[in-house]
Chain A
């Protein structure tokens, strides 16, 4: 199974990536390769650089890449704008989805979806056709149509915001999705909905990176690889049982790896 995957080209190759913000180094040489059909989990203490990693892949302008490169489908994307990355198939599920007052969720989703469709040379959808599409996708995350007429994320509960993220993922059909603590703040039912949504959207051609603190998401979506991040570096990589071990022993256990390396 593993070897078969590796026969195809990787979706994402992060090579020795270092990045800083306000001259403060955050990432210190991260390497990670994701092949089609793979699910990777990144775990680690708060402040270890997990979220920063996801933002840099998505092109957040507050961070400067000081070394290394990000390759998406074989192309260096270091200097691409965030919107270009999204259009070409990179999706970031936000840990804290942003509220945008006054902008209707439906319109936001439509403009966003059309930007991606345009890139894929697919016909852009008018409001009527888009509503058909979005209704179909709403079902994946068990969301009510009422969400569409509200302002983007405004007044949404934590769980609703996360489901709205997965709805966006379903609409954009990315090649790779980086989901930053999509499980945090979810109750058990919402977690199942989100997890099953992610599973339904992903397939043998897509890659997923789950950033999480908890085993319970990984119980639902079994990763092929688990990476432990500490102080801006990946200090250990294993298979799914590494997460279980981590849950048992805590991050203190991983401190030893730093000493070893």
Chain B
């Protein structure tokens, strides 16, 4: 009965549109802004030996003083992972990852128990300061609570007391394991089971830290919550785990930012994010991902293999993903929604920008299970340089999803003649009484558009950046205010010198 089809759009532009138009000198003159966050913090770390086996997993669990159920969870995941094969279906090409050549736990050395921020190593505070995420009491961001994760561990979480007044729990997942073991045991792995995929299994086995959020019934979280992930060590993988639970009629907006230093080796990042929304709850999850992308020749950069999934468990619950993906050498990421509750809503708004030799295979899955569920997908892919940018999305209407609706819009923009964009929309419907709508377009910044803007006194680079922002506007409108401005700037920065 099921209808299934795949459409593939391959857009290749043959005509060099920039070769004859760009004044060579202009482009050469444009000083390429180096990756701003490429510095390394010189700090003593506690690392375990390279490699992955049961003993390593036991060691991680032991270091974190975990309860038995979690060690079992890890070991089970590891067993599954050993039997799994690394997926190769994505439109990505990269050198095989040697999983035995990675350090699975690295933590900055500091005092055993930290009772206040004053005891955090100033070097760490300085690091986050430099990243624009001040943590100290005097300087911390006024309206956002931040959980700062450095390599494998959470360094600090701000505004905890303020949040506690509302019953909101916001802490590192390691702490949650200690203090809220019941919630962890109840929900961990229920949205992304360990056996879900290769990278999720790996994460389940070795995850070291991440953020935990619990919003109690009826509470609207009084401020945005934010995690900032920083990879510092070159040979350490980062495997963070985030779990957000929104009880009935609660709501929360969560932001995630990521950066890493520049190394000429590739660093693996395999995170798992699980969201759970109960009746009438809403979770908005926004990401600005700016991992180091490697240099112009494609040397170095983060391999970003992430499983993000939200479960709209309750009636009228809502999960909204918005992401701006600008970094990483490789991005493999499909933030998805399982729409179980009647009239639940899933949203995915994405801007993915690739430049130089970056590769991104990203999109979403909207699985409509309950009746009258609704999903919206707006994806904007921008490819510049020699990069490869693919949208891959699945919309599935289950047998019980009567009266459900999906709308998808996938737009690609090509800059230059060497970049490529693909759209792979998979649509599976087992429910005739549901609607799926898909629109796709590919455009190129045309010479005429650029000339028009330039002939009105607007500099070449600004003209490109104006058009790119315009292209992304539908998505930027979905981002929290301070993120939207940031995202705009980030895109302009990433594109500098790319046109030519």
User: Which chain A residues have a beta carbon within 8 Å of chain B's beta carbons?
Assistant: 58-62, 81-83, 85-87, 92, 94, 97-104, 107-108, 111-112, 115-116, 119, 151, 168, 172
B21 → A minimal CB distance (Å): 4
How far is B472's CA from A81's CA once the two chains are assembled, in angstroms?
27
Partner of B470, one of A60, A83, A115, A151: A151
Asked if B187 CB lies within 8 Å of chain A CBs, one says no
A162 → B minimal CB distance (Å): 14
The digit string for B452-464, where 1 denotes a CB below 8 A from any CB of A, is 1111111110100
How far is B469's CA from A107's CA once the two chains are assembled, in angstroms?
12
Residue numbers in A under 8 Å from B449 (CB-CB):
98-100
Residue numbers in A under 8 Å from B446 (CB-CB):
98
In this complex, what residue of B is CB-closest to A64? B20
Residue numbers in A under 8 Å from B426 (CB-CB):
none
Instruction: Evaluate contact between B470 and A86: CB separation under 8 angstroms.
Output: no
Residue numbers in B under 8 Å from A112 (CB-CB):
453, 456-458
Residue numbers in A under 8 Å from B33 (CB-CB):
none
Residue numbers in B under 8 Å from A111 (CB-CB):
458, 462, 466
A35 → B minimal CB distance (Å): 23
In this complex, what residue of A is CB-closest to B474? A102
B contacts with A, residue count (CB < 8 A): 28
Instruction: Evaluate contact between A115 and B453: CB separation under 8 angstroms.
Output: no
Partner of A83, one of B448, B459, B466, B473: B459
Instruction: Evaluate contact between B456 and A60: CB separation under 8 angstroms.
Output: no
Instruction: Evaluate contact between B26 and A98: CB separation under 8 angstroms.
Output: no
Beyond A62-B20, A94-B452, A97-B452, whether A81 also contacts B458 by CB under 8 A is: no
Contacts beyond the supplied A102-B473, A115-B456: 18 A-B pairs with Cβ under 8 Å: A59-B454, A61-B451, A81-B23, A82-B451, A82-B455, A83-B457, A83-B459, A83-B460, A86-B455, A94-B452, A98-B446, A98-B449, A101-B471, A102-B472, A103-B466, A107-B466, A108-B458, A112-B457
Which residue of B460, B466, B473 has the most chain A CB atoms within 10 A of its CB atom? B466
How far is B472's CA from A225's CA once the two chains are assembled, in angstroms?
47
How far is B472's CA from A104's CA once the two chains are assembled, in angstroms?
13
Partner of B457, one of A60, A86, A99, A151: A86
Residue numbers in B under 8 Å from A97 (CB-CB):
452
How far is B22's CA from A60's CA once the two chains are assembled, in angstroms?
10
Partner of A172, one of B23, B456, B466, B467: B456
Beyond A61-B22, A81-B23, A103-B470, whether A98 also contacts B457 by CB under 8 A is: no
Asked if B447 CB lies within 8 Å of chain A CBs, one says yes
Partner of B455, one of A59, A100, A101: A59
Residue numbers in A under 8 Å from B472 (CB-CB):
102
Residue numbers in A under 8 Å from B466 (CB-CB):
100, 103, 107-108, 111
In this complex, what residue of B is CB-closest to A93? B455
A163 → B minimal CB distance (Å): 16
How far is B457's CA from A58's CA once the two chains are assembled, in angstroms?
11
Among all A-B residue pairs, the 5 with the closest Cβ atoms:
A102-B470, A115-B457, A61-B21, A86-B457, A82-B454
How far is B451's CA from A100's CA once the two chains are assembled, in angstroms?
11
Instruction: Evaluate contact between A62 and B21: CB separation under 8 angstroms.
Output: yes
Residue numbers in A under 8 Å from B456 (CB-CB):
83, 86, 108, 112, 115, 168, 172
Instruction: Evaluate contact between B469 and A102: CB separation under 8 angstroms.
Output: yes
Residue numbers in B under 8 Å from A85 (CB-CB):
455
In this complex, what residue of A is CB-closest to B456? A112
How far is B362's CA from A26's CA once the two chains are assembled, in angstroms?
47
Which residue of A60, A82, A99, A151 has the most chain B CB atoms within 10 A of its CB atom? A82
How far is B454's CA from A112's CA once the two chains are assembled, in angstroms?
9
The digit string for B16-42, where 1 denotes a CB below 8 A from any CB of A, is 000011110010000000000000000
B18 → A minimal CB distance (Å): 9
How far is B451's CA from A151's CA once the two chains are assembled, in angstroms?
17
Instruction: Evaluate contact between B23 and A103: CB separation under 8 angstroms.
Output: no
Residue numbers in A under 8 Å from B448 (CB-CB):
98
A-B contacts, 21 listed (Cβ < 8 Å): A58-B455, A59-B454, A59-B455, A61-B21, A61-B23, A81-B26, A81-B454, A81-B460, A83-B454, A83-B458, A87-B457, A92-B455, A98-B452, A101-B470, A101-B471, A102-B469, A102-B470, A102-B471, A103-B470, A108-B458, A111-B458
How far is B466's CA from A210's CA once the two chains are assembled, in angstroms?
30
In this complex, what residue of A is CB-closest to B443? A101
Instruction: Evaluate contact between B458 and A115: CB separation under 8 angstroms.
Output: yes
Partner of B20, one of A61, A92, A98: A61
